[in-house]
């Protein structure tokens, strides 16, 4: 399941994040890498415990918490605090799979990485390259979205960031532990929920078919959810 989430952040929120993080001190991106990723990763990252990161995290947290498409697609149980990275001058992140468990630095908070999310913080015409390339069951898909837009995809998928050959690619990234661990089950629930919403817009929320299908959705969620 690869889902684009348009306008997760508005222009004011993007500007506030960039004002906070652009003035901060960046470090080698391998501070959060596992052994495999460290071999393929060349970028800069904002220290996750910095004041700038914490300020920017709150803006991203606020946006995902009120975005119905994100909630319907991810069915989030836990969200790892958003991180921020930068690519320029040929930097890239080779093909890899995200670590199954992510532990927040200096805490016992941990997340099973069911889903990965990238929030673009630079407009695509400001840099060349930098596409997020994800290998899916439907083939290879490349994603390069406007600032404020996001993409959600399985953490288990092979993916990479193509070399940035001009300009600077800035983004937020993080992981989500879903209430529904299985990607196929989560996709089924998302498709069912989307169909219910489309039907309800045509016949009304109180239509018998909408009520029955809503019951099917919740019974499946009850069967599959960890929470």
Catalogue all structural domains in the chain, each as residue range(s) with its CATH number.
Answer: 3-178 (2.60.120.620), 183-224 (4.10.860)
Taking only the tens place, the pLDDT of each residue in 83-103 is 999 999 999 999 999 999 999
Q: How far apart are alpha carbons 174 and 169 in whole angstroms? A: 16
Q: What is the pTM of this model?
A: 0.93
Across all residues in the chain, what is the average pLDDT? 94
Listed residue (73, 56, 46) closest to 15, CA to CA: 56
164: which 2 tokens?
Answer: 């940035």
pLDDT at position 186 is 97
Q: What is the mean pLDDT of residues 36-55?
A: 86
């Amino acid at each position: 399941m690869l889902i684009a989430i348009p306008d997760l952040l508005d222009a004011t929120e993007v500007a506030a994040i960039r004002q906070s993080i652009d003035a901060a001190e960046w470090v080698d991106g391998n501070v959060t890498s596992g052994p495999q990723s460290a071999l393929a990763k060349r970028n800069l990252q904002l220290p996750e415990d910095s004041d700038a990161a914490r300020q920017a995290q709150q803006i991203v947290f606020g946006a995902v918490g009120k975005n119905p498409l994100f909630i319907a697609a991810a069915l989030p149980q836990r969200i790892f605090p958003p991180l921020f990275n930068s690519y320029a001058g040929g930097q890239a992140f080779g093909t890899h799979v995200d670590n199954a468990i992510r532990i927040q630095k200096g805490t016992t908070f941990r997340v099973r990485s069911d889903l990965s999310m990238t929030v673009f913080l630079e407009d695509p015409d400001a840099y060349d390259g930098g596409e997020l390339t994800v290998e899916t069951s439907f083939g290879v898909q490349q994603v390069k979205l406007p600032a404020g837009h996001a993409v959600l995809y399985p953490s288990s998928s092979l993916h990479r960031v193509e070399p940035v050959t001009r300009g600077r690619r800035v983004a937020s990234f993080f992981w989500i532990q879903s209430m529904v661990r299985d990607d196929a089950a989560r996709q089924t629930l998302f498709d069912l929920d989307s169909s219910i919403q489309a039907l309800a817009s045509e016949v009304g929320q109180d239509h018998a078919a909408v009520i029955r299908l809503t019951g099917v959705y919740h019974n499946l969620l009850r069967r599959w959810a960890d929470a």
